[in-house]
Structure 1
């Protein structure tokens, strides 16, 4: 992969940059994001870029879906093809094993003490875990030549399908595209088959019958144009949300090349970025579902048998997660890390349960997490 991406840099990167809307200035940081212009992610990252500038930070040039796709972004940052990127960690399970352990516990956010916006809590929990409670997480990003600047969370995950799903038996034999391992285990526990493909390939997979459903947040009806190939949406299962994202990761050399004042600006803007993206992923599904109804897509609420089976699965799966990360990736003290993340999820449910706006959420992330990061030492050794 490293050779391939280096070849991209020397052979095709210049053309990609030009086609994306012109070369960035010599002082601008380049930011690759594998979503199209107008998507929830790109709209939010445009605000992040403005916040960095307002705070006295470096200029940043976004390249939506034109330079590196979602799966290429992590290696592209490692090889310094771009300065910054939106990194999907579960695409690289071994490279980000400790961070993925925390992200894999996302279904805890939608069981037990339920809150209106579980994504707000999960963003806070995983960001605090990686940046402040997990030195192994920071180290694994450094090995990939990256600095992590916070996560984001989507809203509750649902089933976007070409066939109706109402109860457990409806899932028997169905092929479900899943974005990470915990939903894969859920699919298999419900009698379905997991299929792991890139988000960028989901449209074609649904349209050609390669998969029957995709496990995703309903915002992708709009963001990835899945409205055209979805006939049914089942809400309430599997729950959980996607949080395995480095929302504004930066190449380690680019980070170290910034002044202390610029790093302060980046950290402050990163707190807002985590809030802005998580908030948009809270409201965007409502817009998408309303549009889906207008388009004649049937919206189904999962029946009690299916929701109860899902609750039981989540209760049993935390021990499975600890064992799998120990056996497959050599994560040390996995059970203790699971307990730490679980406690952080509960802490952040309490902190965010009454939050209703971006600015309040951003201040909360800044006060509780980003203000505790030392810009003179974080990522500098």
Structure 2
């Protein structure tokens, strides 16, 4: 079933019937300028204009909202868009299951570049997963890469220095794995949209939010957060498709243009990951000067978190099997675990080298896709 909630009107019909070379590609972000989403997609659009002989127009917070982008791409209202897949849990179940393992990036052998490692692992998995590409095709989307945030911390109104300190607290959680982590530590998870974190903290609806420290600026949380505990819950937010393209738009491109799109997509993922990590690091460095205490989580919290992450894989597999009917969920997650470890190694030492990360994504993922046959060729792999 399509996620589309729109009626395909005259404007969309014209867009779908017009040759790509004769129109501007509509690139929809759904987020404000200044964040990693806009940074990545604006650069993506510029690269296409320079290398693919197509015009582009980028819409930050107009044309479509975040929730409207997936059906907007389906209907051709947008050609390219930033898609948060958990907004459509059933339609994107295959990739959402993988994204829910994102705490693997900092559990066990801790990655020194968690967002880069998790994004690489997810892309490596999805472009070789026939069920995944079929899922996108059913929505009239072509998948062109995933990104991930910087690693999550506890952004709180009171200090969290130990497991005892978080027990009994109300903690905003943006995904099921983080809700379960909070419960494992005796906290109460509260489901609140990301754009309501400021109000929830300022009005003491929650004591903490689990988020990247990049939100101190992106979400204005410098004004309400009094302490940041790093290292926990760890993980990243990974249900982020930076570049999804309408299938008709993709098929309207020449093979040379598709190659340019794949190169620009590899660059876009690196842009997002690098920008998110840089913003988080800059904010943590600035926090003490703004009266915010930065606390490193003690080893006992790190050890408990790693144990939780290992055990949660079974919960994820059984949940997606029972709720969405995914086949072979446990076996699929075994592949993901191996890929995360692979990408921890591949991305080690690249935290300040955006160009090297883009080259890595190209060499290991995008260069291996045949622009003439992708994504249909994945089904025959």
TM-score (norm 1): 0.90
Structure 1 residue 97 and structure 2 residue 101: aligned? Answer: no
Separation in structure 2 between the aligned mates of residue 107 and residue 117 of structure 1, nearest angstrom: 13
Separation in structure 2 between the aligned mates of residue 214 and residue 10 of structure 1, nearest angstrom: 43
Separation in structure 1 between the aligned mates of residue 176 and residue 10 of structure 2, nearest angstrom: 35
Aligned to 2:228: 233
8 Å contact from structure 2 (residues 81, 245) kept in 1: yes
Instruction: For structure 1, list consecutive stretches of 5 or more residues without a partner in the other structure.
Output: 14-24
Deviation string 1:144-173 (CA, Å, 9 cap, x unpaired) is 221111011222110112232222222233
Aligned to 1:71: 67
Aligned to 2:297: 302
The structure 1 residue matched to 2:361, chosen from 352, 359, 365, is 365
8 Å contact from structure 2 (residues 3, 139) kept in 1: no
Structure 1 residue 188 and structure 2 residue 217: aligned? Answer: no
The structure 2 residue matched to 1:176, chosen from 171, 175, 191, is 171
Aligned to 2:16: none
8 Å contact from structure 2 (residues 155, 210) kept in 1: yes
Separation in structure 1 between the aligned mates of residue 169 and residue 74 of structure 2, nearest angstrom: 37
The structure 2 residue matched to 1:112, chosen from 108, 111, 136, is 108
The alpha carbon displacement at 1:321 in A equals: 1.3
The alpha carbon displacement at 1:26 in A equals: 6.6
8 Å contact from structure 2 (residues 33, 60) kept in 1: yes
Relative distance call for 1:276 and 1:229 in structure 2 (3 A) is same
DSSP-derived class of the 2:147 partner = coil
Structure 1 residue 123 and structure 2 residue 119: aligned? Answer: yes
Separation in structure 2 between the aligned mates of residue 29 and residue 195 of structure 1, nearest angstrom: 39
The structure 2 residue matched to 1:275, chosen from 251, 270, 274, is 270
Separation in structure 2 between the aligned mates of residue 349 and residue 109 of structure 1, nearest angstrom: 7
CA RMSD between the two structures = 2.3
8 Å contact from structure 1 (residues 57, 263) kept in 2: no
The alpha carbon displacement at 1:278 in A equals: 1.1
Deviation string 1:78-109 (CA, Å, 9 cap, x unpaired) is 23332211111122221111111111111111
DSSP-derived class of the 1:305 partner = helix
Relative distance call for 1:168 and 1:72 in structure 2 (3 A) is farther
Aligned to 1:17: none
8 Å contact from structure 2 (residues 36, 273) kept in 1: no
Relative distance call for 1:252 and 1:38 in structure 2 (3 A) is same
TM-score (norm 2): 0.90
Q: Give runs of ≥4 in structure 1 deviating > 6 Å.
A: none
Separation in structure 1 between the aligned mates of residue 238 and residue 264 of structure 2, nearest angstrom: 19
8 Å contact from structure 2 (residues 255, 372) kept in 1: yes
8 Å contact from structure 1 (residues 2, 79) kept in 2: no
Instruction: For structure 2, list consecutive stretches of 5 or more residues without a partner in the other structure.
Output: 13-20
The alpha carbon displacement at 1:216 in A equals: 0.9
Aligned to 1:330: 325
Matches within 5 A, 1:283-322: 283-322=278-317
The structure 2 residue matched to 1:375, chosen from 371, 374, 379, is 371
Relative distance call for 1:230 and 1:3 in structure 2 (3 A) is same
Deviation string 1:275-309 (CA, Å, 9 cap, x unpaired) is 12112222221111223222212212223332222
